[in-house]
Structure 1
């Protein structure tokens, strides 16, 4: 049986090395049963409005969806007995976003961005998470709710 520490290490390694996440600079910094966090640094390639030099709205939504998805996956695999990395991979292939709501509160300015997720409900088929995006000063840029298929 894989321990939860082994499952977490596998999930962090896979997500932190996905080409899309690497291109944006997303890194998992917290991965627990009921919360998750990712961080990324400002990069001009993430700019949505060159006149204001602010984060692209798609990057904001991506960060929220990614951190919610990480939490949805880990909240389920932490409570399921699994034998191998292959079994983890098979499980994660079936996970997907059902619904994502993003509310943009202020322009995305900052040097570092922190997306966090808290678990609202984790069932055997569906998981619901509440996500927030802040900059390094603590300014809240956006929040969202994600519903994920997990079974």
Structure 2
């Protein structure tokens, strides 16, 4: 999946699937993703993963450039994120005008639910390309 987001590339987020209403992103966990407890992924990484999944489904990139911005986001952390991989799956809850309400679940590679997120996104008024 073509993306021009250097931060996502730096963190290691890969878009596995994207369509008009859903997105799945994957992160291979590295030691630099841990918080101060060895083996537990920092909550900011989990939140970022959910945000990327929601943003990609809210308004798919055009020529690698995002077409929406996050207006607000809420994450409920349900369990420590551990293991080799995190997977975030998002879906559209409601589209209306320029705003889109999204939901995401973040799971370990073994399928354990570690976080749920809800976000509101604003579609850019005009498509932006590179």
Q: What displacement does 1:18 show? A: 2.2
What stretches of structure 1 move > 3 A for 4+ residues in a row? Answer: none
As a proportion of its length, which structure holds more strand? Answer: 2
Aligned to 1:80: none
**Is structure 2 residue 42 aligned with structure 1 residue 69?**
no
Map Cα deviations across residues 80-117 of structure 1 (whole Å, 9 max, x no partner).
xxxx85xx85x72xx21111000000001010110110
Aligned to 1:32: 19
**Is structure 2 residue 33 aligned with structure 1 residue 46?**
yes
Alignment TM-score, normalising by the size of structure 2? 0.87
Partner SS, residue 54 of structure 1: coil
Q: Which runs of 5+ in 1 are unaligned?
A: 1-11, 78-83
Q: What displacement does 1:52 show? A: 3.8
Alignment TM-score, normalising by the size of structure 1? 0.76
CA distance in 1: counterparts of 2:8 and 2:71, whole angstroms: 20
Q: What displacement does 1:20 show? A: 0.9
**Is structure 2 residue 5 aligned with structure 1 residue 13?**
no
Which of 2, 9, 30 is matched with 1:22 structurally? 9
**Is structure 2 residue 109 aligned with structure 1 residue 123?**
no
Q: What displacement does 1:54 show? A: 0.4
As a proportion of its length, which structure holds more helix? Answer: 1
Q: Which runs of 5+ in 2 are unaligned?
A: 126-130
CA RMSD of aligned residues (A): 1.9
Structure possessing the higher radius of gyration over alpha carbons? 1
